[in-house]
């Protein structure tokens, strides 16, 4: 049984699906930018531009946009077949940005105890160190 034709067809479908995913991420990024703009404008109009919670909320949105951008780059790396190093690097960047976002918006109030908050903070730190190590190793190639 010759499998070349069905495999080629499935690869074509997969490539189209990857491109659709990339365009969906572009759309999500644009919607996020618009949301950021409207939110920033509403905060300015309400006189809350210097409120620390407002600034954290705005930074949180910006970091989410960076995560979407890195996921987009990961999808594009797959589509362009940049090789494993390019895909790993893009994925690690997305993970680092996500963890930095978690660190910036970290609040002890969100945990049932200080011990649970410390465990979460330690876990974020370990993940960040691990991703940084992977990025360092990949960058040396």
- Domain ranges, residue 115: 4-139
Q: Residue 131: CB partners within 8 Å, gap ≥ 6?
A: 92, 95, 96, 99
How does pLDDT run across 16-41, given as a tens digit for each residue? 888 888 899 999 999 999 999 999 99
| pLDDT score for 7 | 81
- Please state, for a pLDDT cut of 70, what percent of the chain lies above it: 95
| Mean pLDDT, residues 101-113 taken together | 86
- Please state, for a pLDDT cut of 90, what percent of the chain lies above it: 31
Contact 61, 29 (CB under 8 A): no
How does pLDDT run across 33-74, given as a tens digit for each residue? 999 999 999 999 999 888 888 888 898 899 889 889 888 888
Q: Over the chain, what HEC string results?
A: CCCHHHHHHHHHHHHHHHHHHHHHHHHHHHHHHHHHHHHHHHHHHCCCCCCHHHHHHHHHHHHHHHHHHHHHHHHHHHHHCCCHHHHHHHHHHHHHHHHHHHHHCCCHHHCCCHHHHHHHHHHHHHHHHHHHHHHHHHHCC
Q: Band of the pLDDT at 1, cuts 50, 70, 90?
A: low
pTM of model > 0.75: no
| Number of folded domains that form the chain | 1
Q: Band of the pLDDT at 82, cuts 50, 70, 90?
A: low
Q: Which of 7, 10, 17 is nearest to 78 (CA)?
A: 17
């Amino acid at each position: 049984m010759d499998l070349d034709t069905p495999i080629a067809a499935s690869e074509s479908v997969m490539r189209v699906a990857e491109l659709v995913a990339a365009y969906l991420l572009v759309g999500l990024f644009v919607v996020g930018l618009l949301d950021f703009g409207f939110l920033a404008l509403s905060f300015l109009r309400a006189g809350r531009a210097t409120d620390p919670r407002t600034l954290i909320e705005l930074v949180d949105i910006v970091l989410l946009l960076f995560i979407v951008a890195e996921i987009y780059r990961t999808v594009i790396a797959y589509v362009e077949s940049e090789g494993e190093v390019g895909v790993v690097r893009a994925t690690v960047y997305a993970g680092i940005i996500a963890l930095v976002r978690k660190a910036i918006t970290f609040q002890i109030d969100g945990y049932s105890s200080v011990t649970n908050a410390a465990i979460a903070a330690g876990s974020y730190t370990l993940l960040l160190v691990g991703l940084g190590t992977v990025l360092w190793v990949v960058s040396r190639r």
